[in-house]
Amino acid sequence: MNFNRVVIKVGSALVSPEGKGCNGKYLLAIARFITECHLRDKEVILVSSGSVAAGRNLIHHGSPNPSITAKQAMASVGQMQMMANWQRFFDRPCSQLLITHGDLKDRQRYINIKNTLRILLENNVLPIVNENDTVATEELKVGDNDNLAALVAMVSDADCLMILSDVNGVYDSDPRNNPKAKLFSEITEINEALYAMASGTSNHIATGGMKTKIEAAEKACEHGIETYIVNGSDSLVFDKLLNNENPGTRFIAKDSSVKAKKHWLKHTLKSHGSVVIDEGAINALLNKGASLLASGINEIWGEFAKGESINITAHCGTRVLAKGICQYSSSDLEKIKGKNSADIEQLLGYCPSKEIIHRDDMVLLSEN
Ligand code: GLU
């Protein structure tokens, strides 16, 4: 399997096949696959739907179409059931992250999510993400876990996204109406024609179902993250994935995730300020692939918030060497510049990260 860090999205139909409560019917094979990934030193983040379905029979709602508040209560109680259901399949600890679109749009919270995921993976924890349905109002919602999974893949710097569904992948027409429908095994370009084809199909292939999956693939591929849509209800699919075969639809990203991220950092993100660094830090950044530490910073220019992009400059700010996402605000940096990383906690009262700009969040301007 040609990836190092994968985000696996599991839909409600797999978590709660009957739509009331969750069970292990499909999750056992999925969990086995995740364990195989771990055994092969792959990092896995799970995005799991199913909280509303899992809580459905625990909240009296008296209607086939429960109100939004009833659904939020279902999500609240169902989330616990869903997490407990996952945990029983793993020896390693599972952790829960409930996030909204509002969290991902906010640079500071974005960076908190990123740091948390990084530390969880370093500690061999399986992070399980869902949308925070109980607090998310419409304008704060991602709305579907396919798009949420693509955003999680981006924030976590994953190089692969796998969307497990109850269909085999993307077809040129609805395979239940047309026995000759053809499965696309590889898609290199996501265009209007593809969306039209997917939304032209009926029922669960198209119930936002395939549309949001293609949207997710489009977002992920733009960031260099290869995406698969596969049938998670068929355990043979996982054997094929483990054998490097493609059992569904594979969306090919033009650039690698590292290259796409560097391009995004360099060309898309606007810098909100800069730091001037000393000779030792210049050498560490340019020649040793190091992250930027507080000790190498001489001056801070401009005002910026935690999580914003800034320039890293040399020689009184006249030469921009690199750009990157800063873990600290300019006012916090003023207090810790030139200091040892070990002193940050004492100086600020908190230390979200030893690195001021992590190497993964930095691009040298000399790099392509
Ligand atoms: N967050 C929802 C849930 O856990 C699922 C959203 C989706 O299926 O896309 O029930």
- pTM score, two decimals? 0.88
DSSP 91: S
**330 CB under 6 A from ligand 1?**
no
Q: Which atom of ligand 1 is nearest to the CA of 82?
A: 4
**79 CB under 6 A from ligand 1?**
no
Is-contact 115 353, C-beta < 8 A? yes
| Every domain of the chain and the residues it spans | 5-261, 269-364
- Say how far apart CA 338 and CA 352 lie, in whole Å: 18
- Say how far apart CA 13 and CA 113 lie, in whole Å: 27
CB neighbour list of residue 173: distance below 8 Å, 6 or more residues apart: 181, 182, 197, 200, 201
Q: What is the rounded (10 degree) CA torsion for 93, 98, 101, 107?
A: -60
pLDDT in the model for residue 101: 86
Domain 5-261: give its CATH superfamily.
Answer: Acetylglutamate kinase-like (3.40.1160.10)
Q: How far is the CA of 77 from the centre of ligand 1 (A)?
A: 14
Q: How far is the CA of 62 from the centre of ligand 1 (A)?
A: 21
- Helical packing angle, 192-200 and 209-222, nearest 10°: 160
Q: How far is the CA of 254 from the centre of ligand 1 (A)?
A: 30
Coil vs helix vs strand at 295: helix
pLDDT in the model for residue 136: 82
pLDDT in the model for residue 208: 45
Is-contact 311 269, C-beta < 8 A? no
pLDDT in the model for residue 202: 42
Name 128's bridge partners: 46, 96
Q: How far is the CA of 28 from the centre of ligand 1 (A)?
A: 20
**51 CB under 6 A from ligand 1?**
yes
Q: How far is the CA of 213 from the centre of ligand 1 (A)?
A: 13
**130 CB under 6 A from ligand 1?**
yes
Domain range 269-364, its CATH number among 3.30.1300.10, 3.40.640.10, 2.40.50.140, 2.30.130.10: 2.30.130.10
**165 CB under 6 A from ligand 1?**
no
**52 CB under 6 A from ligand 1?**
yes
Enter the tokens of residue 187.
């898609």
Is-contact 274 320, C-beta < 8 A? yes
- Say how far apart CA 327 and CA 305 lie, in whole Å: 9
- Say how far apart CA 126 and CA 148 lie, in whole Å: 17
Q: How far is the CA of 214 from the centre of ligand 1 (A)?
A: 17
Strands, E, within the chain: which ranges? 5-10, 43-48, 94-99, 126-131, 160-165, 186-187, 226-231, 249-251, 271-277, 297-301, 309-314, 319-325, 362-364
To test the ligand 1 pocket, which listed residue (10, 79, 131) has its Cβ within 8 A of the most ligand atoms?
A: 131
- Say how far apart CA 115 and CA 281 lie, in whole Å: 23
Does 269-364 match 5-261 at the fold level?
no
Q: How far is the CA of 131 from the centre of ligand 1 (A)?
A: 7
**49 CB under 6 A from ligand 1?**
yes
CB neighbours (10 Å) of residue 314?
Answer: 19
Q: Which atom of ligand 1 is nearest to the CA of 52?
A: 10
Q: What is the DSSP annotation of 216-257?
A: HHHHHHHTT-EEEEEETT-HHHHHHHHTT---SEEEPPSS-H
Q: How far is the CA of 52 from the centre of ligand 1 (A)?
A: 7
Q: How far is the CA of 54 from the centre of ligand 1 (A)?
A: 10
To test the ligand 1 pocket, which listed residue (9, 46, 130) has its Cβ within 8 A of the most ligand atoms?
A: 130
- What residues in the chain have per-residue pLDDT under 50? 201-208
- Which residue puts its alpha carbon closest to atom 2 of ligand 1? 49
Q: Which atom of ligand 1 is nearest to the CA of 130?
A: 1
**144 CB under 6 A from ligand 1?**
yes
pLDDT in the model for residue 199: 67
**212 CB under 6 A from ligand 1?**
no
- Say how far apart CA 325 and CA 353 lie, in whole Å: 12
